[in-house]
Chains A and B, each alone.
Chain A
Amino acid sequence: MSAEPRNRDRVVITGVGLTAPNGNNLAEFRRNLLAGRSGVTEYEVRYFGPTLAGICRFDHLRYQRRKEVRRGTRAGSIAIYCAHEAVADSGLDWENLDKSTVGVYVGVTEHGNVETENEIYSLKGYDYDTQYWSHHHNARTVANNPAGEITLNLGTTGPHYTLGAACAAGNAGLVQGVQMLQLGECDVALCGGVSESIHTFGIFASFHSQGALARHEDPTKASRPFDADRTGIVVAEGGCLFVLERLSHARARDARIYGEVVGYAMNSDAHDFVVPHAERQAECVCKALRRARLNPEDVDIVSTHATGTSTGDVQETLALRSVWDGSGHTLFNNTKSYIGHAMGAAGALEMAGNLPAFTDRVCHPTINLDRTDPECELPGLVANEPRPADKVDVILNNSFGMLGINSVVIVRRI
């Protein structure tokens, strides 16, 4: 068993910046989650053709000039937007802040596919003559690009890198921010996850070949985790970055605090490339609870990972039922039912969408649950309509990904 953490600084969330298919700031996102409003629409991508996706429509020129958009990547644009919004939301005195104390930690599921596909598509028009291959390509496709573009745009000179953690990347980014603050590597962490994945046809084609890509006549109904008629994943783009600070730092400037990151855990299934493993997921949840010094019944809302695949949703249900027996008050929900699977951004977006529950004391539901799959019966799952709660003090967020990567983050109201 790994060593328990020694006396570490407490870390809090003081800013949120996001773009989701159904909202470009936390207030709008939350409003739409409570109103049951999906952000999934029809979409078309080269070679693959008509499909469905969660598309973001934030103002990409709010914080970037056209030239920067042209030079960089979509993931970079999303990251820059979220970073600016998070910083503004935090109320930090950005102008006078020592920029060398800001660390940037961005989770991504993948990076480089979009840019490579674009170049190869363009190269085809020149008969694959590599003299026509862009000199910008390497800078666009290095894995740290989304985090690096933040530093270029915001002028931060602290550490930056991305974390490749499949669909657990949003949580992984958040965890990294917490750890780096506790290690003293930075005083402010800009962290979370981003996804530009809808712009690569490969991801759609691969999920489709795997039999895991959702289809539905009504795009808003296509993402249906736990439902008996679910058909798979809706791919989405998006981004969510948090400003994290040590509690002492936040209190010194009288910052508004969303919540404290009191526990987290990551582990590996060591089981299968794509099929998740309930037992290891449950272990990950328990590890996070232990670190937070909490019991399962202390959790008010569990934000599930469930993507709408036949196997994944069942495995997660099994994992959660082994931890929560249904006797307590713990509620469960799902945000992918609204926005699809935002890949690297998913964990961060799904945590963010639940944070306002600390103040409005409502658990948003999982939508599109018309007929629960008997193998996905989860006592406490809030279906279709939001449910008021007497209190919301603890939110637990699951994110699991390919190659059996698991992550759990727990945030408590302060």
Chain B
Amino acid sequence: MTGAEIREAVVDILSDIAPDEDLTKLKEEIPFRDQLELDSMDFLDIVMELRKRYRIQIPEEDYPELVSMQSTVKYLEPRMRDIQPR
């Protein structure tokens, strides 16, 4: 998947986890937590949905990489290069 496709996948996951939020104005560099109402259980949802939808495993020590859209896409790009978009 390309960076753009990965971003779309993450937005799709966020729209399920935070269905009341407006994701069209999401800023890339600002932490998710500062833009959306997300708690630690929601972050686990992101990890779980990546696992369920793309079979990608993210170790606990890497969770801080998922702090913003920019860092998330950067982290996932090499790991999802060979995965097909849904």
| Bound: A30/B42 CA distance, A | 42
Which residues on the A side are within 8 Å of B30 (C-beta)?
A: none
Q: What's the interface size class on B, roughly?
A: 10 to 19
Which residues on the A side are within 8 Å of B41 (C-beta)?
A: 71, 135-136
Does A131 lie within 8 Å of B19, measured CB to CB?
A: no
**Interface 1/0 per residue, A209-225 and B, CB below 8 Å:** 00000000000000000
- Cβ-neighbour of A65 out of B16, B17, B20 (below 8 A): B20
Does A135 lie within 8 Å of B48, measured CB to CB?
A: yes
B18 within 8 A of A: yes
| Bound: A275/B47 CA distance, A | 49
Which residues on the A side are within 8 Å of B44 (C-beta)?
A: 135
**Interface 1/0 per residue, A110-134 and B, CB below 8 Å:** 0000000000000000100001101
Tell me the minimal C-beta distance from B71 to chain A in angstroms: 22
| Bound: A195/B37 CA distance, A | 30
Does A67 lie within 8 Å of B20, measured CB to CB?
A: yes
Q: Which residues of chain B in 46-82 are interfacial with respect to chain A, using CB atoms and an 8 Å cutoff?
A: 48, 51-52
Chain A binding surface, main DSSP class: helix
Does A67 lie within 8 Å of B48, measured CB to CB?
A: no
Tell me the minimal C-beta distance from B36 to chain A in angstroms: 10
| Bound: A126/B48 CA distance, A | 12
Does B51 lie within 8 Å of A131, measured CB to CB?
A: yes
Which residues on the A side are within 8 Å of B45 (C-beta)?
A: 135
Q: Beyond the given A65-B19, A67-B19, A132-B48, could you list 16 further A-B residue pairs with CB under 8 A, ordered by the A residue number? A: A65-B20, A66-B19, A67-B18, A67-B20, A67-B37, A70-B16, A70-B19, A71-B41, A126-B52, A131-B51, A132-B52, A134-B48, A135-B44, A135-B45, A135-B48, A136-B41
24 pairs of residues in contact across A and B, judged by CB atoms under 8 Å = A65-B19, A65-B20, A66-B19, A66-B20, A67-B17, A67-B18, A67-B19, A67-B20, A67-B37, A70-B16, A70-B17, A70-B19, A71-B41, A126-B52, A131-B51, A132-B48, A132-B51, A132-B52, A134-B48, A135-B41, A135-B44, A135-B45, A135-B48, A136-B41
3 pairs of A and B residues whose beta carbons are closest in the complex: A66-B19, A65-B20, A135-B44
